């Protein structure tokens, strides 16, 4: 991989404007035992987003919680008509624990929107979304875009149990065909998920597949995609420092043109071609 220099155009040639703004917390509420929904009152200039993009969030610092770096977080929803920006997150470490302390009326610094989002090509009419747990947060805006474009969307939603299934009502309200699978009822295995997808292909056809995060789902969709010649995209998660492509903290390897290339998840992604992705 080449060293970056001040003359490297990829660092500064961003496709859209990036803004650092102070938003006001409208709500920051639990949705179940692990996840919280953060709703921000955001200026219109940061709501020109694409499904799959993310923001870099400046976590608050308290006496007990002192996160050093910003935290990248996928956009759960963006609503210019209401002036709202939504994030669905799991409290898992110091940064998200600090975000969980925010209260209505507090200010919150965000940087974005960042990265490359999902594509929905004109000939992709029947779409399949497959995700597990909080991966559904990244894919939720895709459902809104599919409805806007009048595309048919099926969402396979996987979790440990019914209580951890996220966004089912949100998807259903958008006209999505929702198929829940859980560890608890024994339906979330790779084998069963594969059988469900094969039936969808046989019954209705699938033009494109989308996923986020899970290595086992990635491998499954890569196999099905190769067998049936179905394209797809994946949103990848990676630790980041700057979020704009300068630090190279988030570089990952990808298969391309018979070889291996290294790309920055924050800048060239976080959305990549499904068949090019290599699981961690």
Whether 109 and 174 have beta carbons less than 8 Å apart is answered as no
Q: Give the range with max mean pLDDT: 43-47, 234-238, 240-244.
A: 43-47
Mean pLDDT calculated for residue range 177-195? 94
Domain covering 126-276, topology: Rossmann fold (3.40.50)
Q: Give the range with max mean pLDDT: 4-8, 23-27, 138-142.
A: 23-27
List the chain domain ranges: 9-114, 126-276
Backbone torsion region of residue 192, taken as left when φ is above 0, otherwise alpha when ψ lies between -120 and 50, otherwise beta:
alpha
pLDDT at 13 over 70: no
Name the pLDDT band for 15 (thresholds 50, 70, 90): low
pLDDT at 42 over 90: yes
At 7 the pLDDT is 38
Name the pLDDT band for 8 (thresholds 50, 70, 90): very low
DSSP 131: E
pLDDT at 165 over 90: no
At 11 the pLDDT is 43
pTM for this model (two decimals): 0.90
Mean pLDDT calculated for residue range 136-141? 87
Per residue in 57-92, is it b (16+ CB within 10 Å) or e — as a string?
A: bbbbeeeebebebbbbbbbbbbeeeebbbbbbbeee
φ and ψ of 182, to 5 deg? -135, 155
At 67 the pLDDT is 85
pLDDT at 244 over 70: yes
Q: What is the pLDDT of residues 108-132, one digit of tens each?
A: 999 999 999 999 999 999 999 999 8
Largest Cα separation within the chain, whole Å, is: 57
User: Count of residues for the chain?
Assistant: 280
Give the pair of three-digit tokens for residue 73: 């977080």
Backbone torsion region of residue 33, taken as left when φ is above 0, otherwise alpha when ψ lies between -120 and 50, otherwise beta:
alpha
At 92 the pLDDT is 87
For residue 113, say if its preceding peptide bond is cis, omega within 30 degrees of 0: yes
Domain 9-114 CATH (choose: 2.40.50.100, 2.40.30.10, 2.60.40.10, 3.40.50.2000) = 2.40.30.10
At 184 the pLDDT is 92
Mean pLDDT calculated for residue range 72-82? 95
Alpha helices, DSSP H, located in 2-72: 9-12
φ and ψ of 28, to 5 deg? -150, 80
Q: Which helix (H) or strand (E) holds 157?
A: strand 152-159
Whether 249 and 241 have beta carbons less than 8 Å apart is answered as yes
Q: Which of 12-16, 19-23, 160-164 has the lowest mean pLDDT?
A: 12-16
The dihedral sign for the CA sequence 177, 192, 165, 228: negative
């Amino acid at each position: 991989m080449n060293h970056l220099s001040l003359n490297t155009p990829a660092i500064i040639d961003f496709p859209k404007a990036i803004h650092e703004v102070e938003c006001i917390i409208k709500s920051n509420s639990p949705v179940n035992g692990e996840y919280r929904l953060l709703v921000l009152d955001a200026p219109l200039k940061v709501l020109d987003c694409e499904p799959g993009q993310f923001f870099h969030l400046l976590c608050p610092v308290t006496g007990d919680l002192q996160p050093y770096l910003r935290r990248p977080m996928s956009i759960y929803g963006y609503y210019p008509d209401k002036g709202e920006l939504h994030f669905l997150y799991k409290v898992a470490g110091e940064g998200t624990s600090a975000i969980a302390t925010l209260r209505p009326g507090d200010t919150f610094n965000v940087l974005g929107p960042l990265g490359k989002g999902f594509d929905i090509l004109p000939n992709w009419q029947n779409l399949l979304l497959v995700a597990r747990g909080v991966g559904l947060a990244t894919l939720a805006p895709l459902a809104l875009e599919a409805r806007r474009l009048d595309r048919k969307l099926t969402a396979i939603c996987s979790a440990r149990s019914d209580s951890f299934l996220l966004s089912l009502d949100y998807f259903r309200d958008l006209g999505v065909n929702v198929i829940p699978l859980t560890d608890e009822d024994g339906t979330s295995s790779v084998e069963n998920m594969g059988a469900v997808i094969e039936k969808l292909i046989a019954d209705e056809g699938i033009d494109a597949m989308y996923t986020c995060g899970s290595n086992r789902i990635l491998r499954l969709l890569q196999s099905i995609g190769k067998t049936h010649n179905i394209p797809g995209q994946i949103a990848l998660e990676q630790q980041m420092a700057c979020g704009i492509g300068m630090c190279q903290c988030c570089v990952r390897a990808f298969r391309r043109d018979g070889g291996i290339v290294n790309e920055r998840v924050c800048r060239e992604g976080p959305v990549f071609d499904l068949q090019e992705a290599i699981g961690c």
